[in-house]
Structure 1
């Protein structure tokens, strides 16, 4: 799941960014949600909520009633609820003061589809490149697994077996995680590791054939596909293949 924040004190400006984001997501299978803010003060209140999810990218106006975008940036710089900021403004003279470790870009008003798409792609690429799963194994040892190394997951009672790549690219050893598969599924919200059965998840990057069962590269076993997951999983697989082909063109 990708979480997108939009902060502007004009509702029409928020709608414009929302519509441009939706144009991009028509081309993908990426799950996403929006959080809308009418002011910088609302963003600060959001950051104080312990149960609020981290916003992956915040489209932020500079000139607003109350706290400005520049001042808001200073407040959220060391908080974990806002991961990245994109300033949307016509005030080019303010760009110098808008730079920070969380600032990934600037978009002039009115924003264009091309600029919005570019910022979303930067965010998705950063998430995909850096994402790693931190889990405790059966012995309580903390282990970090990069998502790209995961081949498939198998439910094992209240635990989950996480199978990682072997020397030839197929499944090698597995790590027994104390987390349930449902919890791990939420943590893998960005990477193309999807649920295909009540007891299985697969990394689409390892799939070489998707039919009644799933064939994994360099793996002798077949992964079953549950009836309730089949249609959605097949759509995600075909979209994944389509996107991979586009990247190579």
Structure 2
């Protein structure tokens, strides 16, 4: 994954870089962070995520966004700004949002996590890469993450919070006690689903949704169901 940082203030670039380093540690992917001081420098480059100052001399963030959009680049853009009045010009297809420079420490971390989730199709569950989780089982006040290597990790997080966190990355609830990762589905039966060779119960009210969502998941990921 390549993350670009483009801002004409050296102090801001370094601060953003530090936040990016800390945030990307939660994931197991190799991440390259590249820094630029002028929008002109990024026009012909490719990034997965670009953290971009709206107002810069010569080529500003709006120009960069329009250039990327015209060429249909998939780069996710996060704008940082001290000028809220320019936000109305900055909306675009791949613009994820806006972060005020005065609130970088709090706002950028949340925005960057969402952008990485979109790019990598994964989230970090208390340091565990969701792609390694086969299914989640609720147990009292804990949830047990059952991993692909047949180990387990216990997290103190509600099923509802986990379900919300995992939206859009291939997980689906199949029972009040179970959330599964569709990447590990072997076979869907009448009342159960086989996940990494483990039979998981499927509640009657969720059976139809499971089949529909799994079919869509297979189409989107070029898998045979």
1:217 aligns with 2:198: yes
Give yes or no for the alignment of 1:59 onto 2:83. no
Change (3 A) 1:45 1:125: closer
Partner of 1:174: none
Q: Give the distance between the partners of 1:14 and 1:120, measured in 2 at CA.
A: 15
| Counterpart-to-counterpart distance in 1, 2:30 and 2:194 | 28
Aligned to 1:193: none
| Bigger Cα displacement from structure 2, 24-33 vs 64-73 | 24-33
Aligned equivalents of 1:111 and 1:7: distance in 2? 17
Picking from 86, 91, 110, the partner of 2:102 is 110
Tell me whether 1:97 sits opposite 2:118 in the alignment: no
Question: Helix, strand or coil: the match of 2:78?
Answer: strand
- Aligned position for 1:6: 5
SS of 2:33's partner is strand
Residue 166 of structure 1 aligns with which residue? 187
Secondary structure of 2:42's aligned partner = helix
State the superposition RMSD in angstroms. Answer: 2.7
Shift of 1:111: 4.2
Matches within 5 A, 1:125-136: 125-127=117-119, 128=121
Matched, 1:73 2:54: no
C-alpha distance 39-109 of structure 1, shift in aligned 2 (>3 A): same
Alpha-carbon displacement from aligned partner over 1:154-177 (angstroms, at most 9, x marks no partner): xxxxxxxxxx62125437xxxxxx
Distance (whole Å) between structure 2 residues aligned to residue 59 and residue 41 of structure 1: 14
Provide, for residues 18-53 of structure 1, a one-character-per-residue CA deviation record: whole Å limited to 9, x for no partner.
10122223444443221222211111121xxxxxxx
Q: Does the CA contact (< 8 Å) of 2:23 and 2:113 recur in 1?
A: no
Partners of 2:35 and 2:193 lie apart in 1 by: 43
Matched with 1:31 is 30
The TM-score, its normalising length taken from structure 1, stands at 0.49
Structure 1: unaligned runs, 5 residues or longer: 47-53, 130-145, 152-163, 172-205, 207-215, 219-249
Q: What is the CA-CA distance between 1:6 and the residue it aligns to?
A: 0.6
**Aligned equivalent of 1:150:** 183
Tell me how many residue pairs correspond in the alignment: 140
| Secondary structure at the counterpart of residue 124 of structure 1 | helix
* 3-state secondary structure, aligned to 1:110: helix
CA distance in 2, matches of 1:121, 1:26: 11
Which of 51, 71, 84 is 2:76 aligned to? 84
- CA pair 89-83 structure 1, distance change in 2 beyond 3 A: same
Q: CA 1:169 to 1:30, structure 2 compared with 1: closer, same or farther past 3 Å?
A: farther
